[in-house]
Chain A
Amino acid sequence: AQKVTQAQTEISVVEKEDVTLDCVYETRDTTYYLFWYKQPPSGELVFLIRRNSFDEQNEISGRYSWNFQKSTSSFNFTITASQVVDSAVYFCALSDYKLSFGAGTTVTVRA
């Protein structure tokens, strides 16, 4: 069965700290895609990254980085030197035959 687990419900950090969000997934397919979305307090869903199952290269985009490990079925997301504007709910999602989301992790960055 397809499943996405974000075990961390809430994370609170002080500005400039690094924060890592965990995402573990389950799928029977060999071809699938993983996503991260950000939902700021305003409510819209902001696309951050898409990664396919054949590409295990880590990715860095500014202060964001992603670590994809097929061996552990994980696709973790790190925010380096967090800022108050990073405060949001972050969702991990898996697309094999349909798109499924994790429950989300609420990140609060305090000044």
Chain B
Amino acid sequence: EAQVTQNPRYLITVTGKKLTVTCSQNMNHEYMSWYRQDPGLGLRQIYYSMNVEVTDKGDVPEGYKVSRKEKRNFPLILESPSPNQTSLYFCASSQTYRGSNYGYTFGSGTRLTVV
């Protein structure tokens, strides 16, 4: 089944403790991106990647890092999480940055709470 897999689905952590949210896709997509969803703000892009070793900042990159060493994986790293990073996170992929006739494929989301 074609899908984007995010892990974990839920995570509660403490301020300052480094964490990684994994994202993997099995569709050989070139484009991958991370979003955070907050009430009243919709989804805001954190980082995106056009292809392996090509990443760039989105609208809200502060406090996050990403890497794209392999085409299928695009992990999101929070080096020192803070409470304002409590949010619902989504990973998405598509063949191109324009999306496709099937849109962008999103993962199921990761609900992160930083206390």
A binding-site residues for B, Cβ under 8 Å: 4, 6, 9, 33, 35, 37, 43-45, 47-50, 91, 93, 95, 97-104
Select which of A35, A37, A50, A99 is within 8 A of B33 by beta carbon.
A99
- The number of residues on chain B lying at the interface, defined by a beta carbon within 8 Å of a beta carbon of chain A, is 26
Whether the Cβ atoms of A50 and B101 lie closer than 8 Å is yes
Closest 7 interchain pairs by CB? A47-B103, A101-B42, A45-B106, A101-B43, A103-B42, A104-B42, A50-B103
Q: CB within 8 A of B104: which of A9, A97, A99?
A: A99
Interface residue? B84 (CB, 8 A): no
B88 within 8 A of A: yes
User: How many inter-chain contacts with C-beta < 8 Å in the A-B complex?
Assistant: 57
Q: A49-B103, A100-B45 are in contact. List 15 more A-B contacts (CB 8 A).
A: A6-B42, A35-B99, A37-B103, A43-B108, A43-B109, A45-B106, A50-B102, A95-B98, A97-B97, A98-B45, A98-B97, A99-B104, A101-B43, A101-B44, A104-B42
What distance in Å separates the Cβ of A33 from its nearest Cβ neighbour in chain B?
A: 6
Query: In this assembly, does B90 line the interface, its C-beta being within 8 Å of a C-beta of chain A?
Result: yes
CB contacts (< 8 Å) of B104 on chain A: these are 35, 47, 99
Structural contact, B58 and A91, CB atoms closer than 8 A? no
With A45-B90, A98-B48 as known contacts, state yes or no: A91 contacts B42, CB within 8 Å.
Answer: yes
Complex interface residues of chain B between 45 and 79 (CB less than 8 A to chain A): 45, 48, 58-59
Q: Could you say which of A4, A35, A50, A97 has the most chain B C-beta atoms within 10 Å of its C-beta?
A: A50
